[in-house]
Amino acid sequence: MSYRRTKRDRVLVVDDDASLAEMLTIVLEGEGLTSAVCRSGDRVMAAFNQFKPDVVLLDLMLPGLDGMSVCRQIRATSGVPIIMLTAKSDTPDVVAGLEAGADDYITKPFKNTELVARLRARLRRSDQLASPLEFGDIVLDPAGHTVSRKGEALELTPLEFDLLACLLSDPSQVFTRETLLQKVWGYHHPGDTKLVNVHMTRLRSKIEDDAENPQVIRTVRGVGYQAILPGS
């Protein structure tokens, strides 16, 4: 794992609750992170463009523009990690948020340590690959974090890049969702398979010609996912 220690990581906190937002900044500053607060959904993009955060902490319930829409707005221009803050652990909301492009979510109330662990996990990049990897017609370049297929560059978020790199790095292995959670999301979060499921769907929609009939990553029923060796 490689940490970027050269500068303080910047966290954009988007939450309408003043106390919580302030408390969040206190904790984040205590962890050596720089933070800014935005308290309304419709001002997020302005704050985002101005603050240029390394990660966004986004509450789903926002005045102005709701969290899902904000999520999609950010994703339209940037792959910056987004962690949703949600009071609703009800899965439909969480899945909707993940589908809107959030990388991870954390349910209120949460522990400071848990929050920081997730932030750190999103801020560091996993080093699955030391050198460029060619896999069939897909080429991954870990240095530039770029992916191309048939010579065409693919727009993957850093998380999707890590997920793909993890799977392609060892095609002999079937990765369970638990393993992927640990290796890609970087923390042990047992049983949260929807994180993997939703992102696998997003990843497939970008790299597969037909997401219903995947040619790059196959689902091993009841176990997990595995890269399909080219030509097999």
Partner 1 sequence: MRRLARVWRRSIQARVVTSTILLSTLVVALTGWALLRDVADGLADSRLSAAVSEARSGFDYAQTQLDATLESEPTTQSQALTQMVDSLTRSRGAARTYELVLEGPLTDDGLAPIRSSAGIDPASLPTDLAHAVRSGPGTFWRYSDLPLLGSSTSEPSVVVGSQLRAPGSNDTYALFYLFSLADQQETLDLVRRALLLGGLAMILMVGGVAWLVSRQVLDPVRLARRIAERYASGNLEQRMHVSGEDDIARLSTSFNQMAASLQSQIRRLENLSRLQQRFVSDVSHELRTPLTTVQMASEVLYDSRGRFDPQTARSAELLKRELDRFESLLSDLLDLSRFDAGAARLELDTIDLSEVARGAADDPVLARAGIEVRLLGVDRPAIVEADMRRINRIVRNLLANAAKYSGSRVVEIEIAQNDESASLAVRDFGIGLSGDENLRVFDRFWRADPARTQGGTGLGLAISREDAALHGGTLQAWGRPGAGSEFILTIPKPDGSAKHPPLVSVYA
Q: Interface residues with partner 1 (CB under 8 A)?
A: 17, 19-20, 23-24, 26-27, 30, 61, 87-92, 108-113, 176, 178, 190-194, 197, 221-223
- Please report how close the Cβ of residue 117 comes to partner 1 at its closest, in angstroms: 13
Given the DSSP bridges, would you call strands 104-107 and 152-154 parallel, antiparallel or unpaired?
Answer: unpaired
Which C-beta is closer to partner 1: that of 177 or that of 202? 177
- Please report how close the Cβ of residue 16 comes to partner 1 at its closest, in angstroms: 9
- Please report how close the Cβ of residue 87 comes to partner 1 at its closest, in angstroms: 4
- Please report how close the Cβ of residue 205 comes to partner 1 at its closest, in angstroms: 20
Count Cβ atoms within 10 A of the Cβ of residue 183 and give its class: 0-12 exposed, 13-18 middle, 19 or more buried. Answer: middle
**φ, ψ at 203 (rounded to 5°):** -65, -45
Q: Are 71 and 60 in contact (CB under 8 A)?
A: no
Alpha-carbon distance of 170 to 191, in angstroms, equals 23
Which C-beta is closer to partner 1: that of 84 or that of 138? 84
Which C-beta is closer to partner 1: that of 141 or that of 192? 192
Which C-beta is closer to partner 1: that of 145 or that of 218? 218
Outline where 152-191 has alpha helix (H). 158-169, 177-180
Alpha-carbon distance of 33 to 216, in angstroms, equals 38
- Please report how close the Cβ of residue 51 comes to partner 1 at its closest, in angstroms: 22
- Please report how close the Cβ of residue 215 comes to partner 1 at its closest, in angstroms: 22
For helices 193-207 and 91-99, the axis angle rounded to 10 degrees is 30
- Please report how close the Cβ of residue 130 comes to partner 1 at its closest, in angstroms: 29
Which C-beta is closer to partner 1: that of 27 or that of 211? 27
Which C-beta is closer to partner 1: that of 52 or that of 108? 108
Alpha-carbon distance of 46 to 200, in angstroms, equals 30
Beta strands in the chain (DSSP E): 10-14, 34-38, 55-59, 82-86, 104-107, 133-135, 138-141, 146-149, 152-154, 175-176, 217-220, 224-227
Which C-beta is closer to partner 1: that of 78 or that of 219? 219
